[in-house]
């Protein structure tokens, strides 16, 4: 971390008592270390001043591996994602998976944790370094209304960039 950026101490992001080995829908947010804008930039383009995310080489590699991993496992589907300059969001749909699934409910044994770990590992290998924070934020999607709200958030994230909590100049 850089000397002049002092980030607040992070609270635990896991829901106490929740069995993270169960199938479900999860909203994940993964940030670049020190929130550096390495994944691309948002530019204004077109007649209506529309904002568009232009992926950097790092962002293109991340995009490639999200798409690759979306088809890699029958029980894990990326329903929606967006790559932002210094973070990305995913909606993961984890279906019932018995073949080799861990019986341990620990968060680090969950399918979401395994997915994130593998995604980061693929990207870091191609980057030649680790650019992501070690942890990620997750939210258990509880119902259709919650799902729709998150879908819309992802869908409009680029046009709300300057109001985003991860925005830095």
Domain ranges of the chain: 24-162
Whole-angstrom distance, CA of residue 29 vs CA of residue 45: 26
pLDDT (0 to 100) of residue 13: 55
pLDDT (0 to 100) of residue 106: 46
CA separation (Å) from 135 to 6, 48, 60, 132, 141?
A: 18, 38, 21, 8, 19
The number of CA neighbours under 13 Å toward the Cβ of 57 is 4
pTM for this structure? 0.81
The strand pairing partners of 29, in sequence order, are 89, 137
Asked if residue 17 has pLDDT above 50, the reply is yes
Asked if residue 8 has pLDDT above 70, the reply is no
Enclosing H/E stretch for 124: helix 111-127
Whole-angstrom distance, CA of residue 100 vs CA of residue 136: 24
* Domain spanning 24-162: CATH superfamily: Transposase IS200-like (3.30.70.1290)
| Mean pLDDT computed over 10-20 | 61
| Mean pLDDT computed over 70-96 | 91
Whole-angstrom distance, CA of residue 123 vs CA of residue 35: 17
pLDDT (0 to 100) of residue 95: 87
CA separation (Å) from 13 to 9, 76, 103, 140, 165?
A: 12, 21, 21, 11, 16
Asked if residue 14 has pLDDT above 50, the reply is yes
Asked if residue 51 has pLDDT above 80, the reply is yes
What would the pLDDT profile of 106-158 be if each residue is shown by its tens digit? 444 578 888 999 999 999 999 999 999 988 888 999 999 999 999 999 999 98
pLDDT (0 to 100) of residue 136: 87
pLDDT (0 to 100) of residue 45: 78
């Amino acid at each position: 971390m850089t000397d002049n950026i002092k980030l607040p101490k992070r609270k635990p992001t896991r829901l106490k008592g929740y069995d993270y080995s169960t199938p479900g829908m999860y909203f994940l947010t993964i940030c670049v270390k020190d929130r550096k804008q390495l994944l691309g930039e948002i530019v204004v383009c077109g007649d209506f001043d529309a904002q568009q995310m232009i992926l950097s080489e790092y962002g293109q590699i991340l995009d490639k591996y999200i798409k690759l991993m979306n088809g890699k496992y029958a029980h894990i589907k990326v329903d929606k994602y967006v790559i932002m300059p210094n973070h990305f969001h995913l909606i993961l749909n984890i279906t019932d998976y018995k073949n080799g699934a861990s019986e341990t409910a620990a968060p680090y044994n969950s399918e979401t944790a395994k997915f994130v770990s593998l995604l980061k590992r693929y990207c870091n290998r191609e980057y030649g370094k680790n650019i992501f924070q070690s942890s990620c934020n997750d939210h258990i999607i509880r119902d259709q209304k919650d799902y729709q709200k998150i879908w819309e958030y992802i869908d409009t994230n680029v046009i709300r960039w300057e109001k985003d909590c991860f925005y830095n100049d």
